[in-house]
A and B are shown apart, each in its own frame.
Chain A
Amino acid sequence: FLHYSLSIALPPLSYLVAQVRPLHGSGCGQQQEAVGMEMRPETFSIFRTQENDPDCQSEQHQGQYYTVPPSHFHTVFPHGLPPRYQQQVKTFNEGCVMVRQPALELISHLKRADYSKPTLRYLLYGVKGSGKTMSLCHTVHYCSTQGWLVLHIPDAHLWVKNCKELLPSSYHASRFDQPIQASNWLRNFRTTNENFLSKIKLRQRYVWTKRESTEEGQPLGELVDMGVSRVKSSSDVVGAVLKELRLQAGGTEGGFRLAVAVDGVNGLWGRTTLKKEDKSPVAPEELTLVHNLRKMINNDWCGGAVIATLSQTGSLYAPSSAYLPQELLGEEGFDSMDPFIPVPVSLYSEKEFESCYLYYLDRHWLQHPHSQTEEGKKELIFLSNRNPSVLERLCAFL
């Protein structure tokens, strides 16, 4: 009897998607797509959803693609997206992200968290290519649309390897600065958070050299501009920016919420490939950028959230089969991150795979005549094991 009543209670999917849902005060259901690169006719499709606001997405949209409005693209994601995805956006002339369960879980946690308590740390983990970075970017898009200040570090591994210039820090004798990486990051930070730069005022005076200093009460934008132009002290500027944001995030007057999104957080603990002049290895804590970022990840401040991703791809001295937090973070990293909320990211489910396949067909990406048949689809499932990145690479040449 119960089964019978359940089966008639579920309306068909088309009805759910087309319905206007006035659940929130912001009127999510009435939002139209921005007239961006293409005007698409409003036909129903099983793999696309018209709900482009991450705030209003829920489990019913799972497996469907939503379009990131082109105006948001360059401001929200100057540096966070995986390189193959950036190529895909350029080819398809639109940026579509799949709504998946890990991202929805994260967003629901962010909606219900108490921001007067110390920050919660969320850690996305999963096998290689399962979609951790994309889930992180989805969450960053949500935070951006909600008006949070987003501190997105695209890959922490870039700061612990392949550094051409290592300057000894002026502020602390035993630390090392990385001017190029720091100034690049500051430039992208400036693009992401334009509107916050004039609103946040500094609470402390910073002295850079005998003649240069930034006074109290100046807007944050000036500090960032200084860091971009004076490349030598850019690492210290990064440290100052992080400190200011940490102090002011939970503030009651003019308070904003701070989202720290770090990709490849396991690079902050462990080993680096950088060497000092006497060929001895540099430990990560001897780098200014890493030192300051570690302070940011501690949960001794309130008014925001730390969302991190593990990554084996760029990691140093980690076996390629390792994907669990314990293996990749190591003892030191795990103790610093503990307690955290783990969010596992799995491979595509059958519904998600269908959705991805239909999306590629729609965008004319699957061109081989056999790939459009059932046989070809079964072969794709077999070859990729429903791994998102492997499927993407397979479909690239088919």
Chain B
Amino acid sequence: MAASLTGLLKPWTPRVLLVRWSRYNPYYLEPEPRKEVYHIPETELTPEQKEERELKSVRPIKAATNSVTSSVFNDPVLSKFVNMMMKDGDKIIAKGIITQTLENMKRKQVEKYHKAPEGKKAEIECNPYAIFHQALENCKPVIGLASIQKGGKFYQVPIPLTDNRRRFLAMKWMITECRDNKHRRTLMYEKLSQELLAAFSKEGNVVKRKHELHKMAESNRAYAHYRWW
């Protein structure tokens, strides 16, 4: 440990630094992007926070990646979705598609809102972020299937899924659905906004796929005891 530590803390740093690698030396600390932390005045710091600040003044800190912002509009779920949609590292295009999608959804909903009679206005959800999160919730499967080998044959066994896996499956299905099942001339943001609005009201192909997975898991209930974890 001493060798790797002192190796990186030389007074002369080489031209090519390990900035973007995730394999940083554990000596490096994480950056703190949130603004509130820096606005606490000196007097109100707890002893732990004071200690942490002193540590940060002597230790080197990792470089922050591009996706980290101190903006109030930062949404981790949305960032994950953008990363999943990205192809060949082109985040600008992926982020552009997502912003166009949000705008499109908001436009449709706000138009409906302004044309609706007074009684129906409260039911129309205009916030594209709320629609996105709710749609993703509606697409998340509760139970998944795993292929387990027993006695030479493979059985589809129902297993519980972690939160991360569920979120990943929902996003993956949404993106593949929008890439595959659209007309050649429909743009991605248009199709994505249609799918998200449909998923928000629990219709559409993605929630159908979730229901089919649930049905498969239900039908394979008998093999549940093949799971050993």
Contact = CB atoms under 8 A, between A and B. Distances in A.
A complexed with B: yes
Interface of A: 38, 87, 90-93, 363-365, 367-371, 373, 375-376, 379, 396-398
Given A93-B114, A364-B126, A87 B107 contact: yes
Majority DSSP secondary structure for residues of B touching A: helix
Contacts of B114: 38, 91-93, 363
Nearest to B115: A93
B106 A396 contact: yes
Nearest to B35: A375
B102 A397 contact: yes
Given A87-B107, A93-B111, A397-B106, A367 B128 contact: yes
A87 B71 CA distance: 28
A376 B73 contact: yes
A224 B182 CA distance: 44
B17 to A, nearest CB: 30
B106 A367 contact: yes
Contacts of A92: 110, 114
A373 B72 contact: yes
5 contacts: A368-B73, A370-B73, A376-B72, A379-B72, A397-B106
Contact of A367 (B71, B115, B129): B129
B173 interface: no
A367 B72 contact: no
Interface residues of B, number: 19
Contacts of A367: 106, 126-130
B116 to A, nearest CB: 11
A398 B73 contact: yes
A396 B110 CA distance: 11
Contacts of A90: 111
Given A38-B114, A375-B72, A397-B106, 14 more contacts: A91-B107, A93-B111, A93-B115, A363-B110, A364-B110, A364-B113, A365-B106, A365-B110, A367-B126, A367-B128, A367-B130, A379-B72, A379-B73, A396-B106
Contacts of A38: 114
Contacts of B107: 87, 91
A368 B103 contact: no
Interface in B111-132: 111, 113-115, 126-130
B197 to A, nearest CB: 14
A398 B111 CA distance: 16
A87 B103 CA distance: 11
Contact of A379 (B71, B99, B127, B128): B71
A363 B72 CA distance: 22
A379 B35 CA distance: 12
Contacts of B111: 90-91, 93
Nearest to A383: B71
Nearest to B70: A379
Contacts of A91: 107, 110-111, 114
Contacts of A398: 73
Given A379-B71, A396-B103, A368 B110 contact: no
Contacts of B126: 364, 367
